[in-house]
Amino acid sequence: MVEENASEVTSYRDVKAEIRGRITAGTWGPGALLPGEVELAESFGVARATVNRAMRELSEEGLVDRRRKAGTRVRKSPLRAARFEIPLVRAEIEATGAIYRYGLLERETRTAPDWLRARLGVLKGTRVLHLTCLHSADGAAYQLEDRWINLSALPEAARADFSAVGPNEWLIAAVPYSEVEISFMATAAEGVVAAYLGMGDGEPVFTVERTTWWQGQAITHVRLSFSRGHRMTTRY
Confidence of residue 2 (pLDDT cuts 50, 70, 90): very low
Buried b (16+ CB within 10 A) or exposed e, 198-226: ebeeeeebbbbbbbbbbeeebbbbbbbbb
More confident residue, 1 or 16: 16
Number of domains present in the structure of the chain: 2
Would you state the pLDDT for residue 80? 55
Asked if 37 and 56 touch (Cβ cutoff 8 Å), the reply is: no
Question: Do residue 55 and residue 168 come from a single domain?
Answer: no
- Residue 2 is assigned to a structural domain of this protein: no
Question: Do residue 50 and residue 103 come from a single domain?
Answer: no
Question: Do residue 105 and residue 203 come from a single domain?
Answer: yes
For 89, the enclosing helix (H) or strand (E) is helix 89-95
Report the pLDDT averaged over residues 47-59.
91
CA–CA distance, 82 with 199 (Å, rounded to integer):
31
Q: pLDDT digits over 169-222, tens only?
A: 999 888 877 788 999 999 999 999 999 999 999 999 999 999 999 878 999 999
- Residue 123 is assigned to a structural domain of this protein: yes
Q: pLDDT digits over 149-173, tens only?
A: 999 999 999 999 999 999 999 998 8
- Residue 231 is assigned to a structural domain of this protein: no
Question: Do residue 44 and residue 134 come from a single domain?
Answer: no
Report the pLDDT averaged over residues 32-43.
93
Question: Do residue 133 and residue 197 come from a single domain?
Answer: yes
Specify burial of residue 114 (Cβ count, 10 A radius: 0-12, 13-18, 19+).
exposed
- Residue 235 is assigned to a structural domain of this protein: no
Question: Do residue 130 and residue 28 come from a single domain?
Answer: no
- Residue 181 is assigned to a structural domain of this protein: yes
- CATH number of the domain encompassing residue 163: 3.40.1410.10
**Whole-model pTM over 0.75:** no
Q: In which domain, by residue range, is 166 found?
A: 89-226
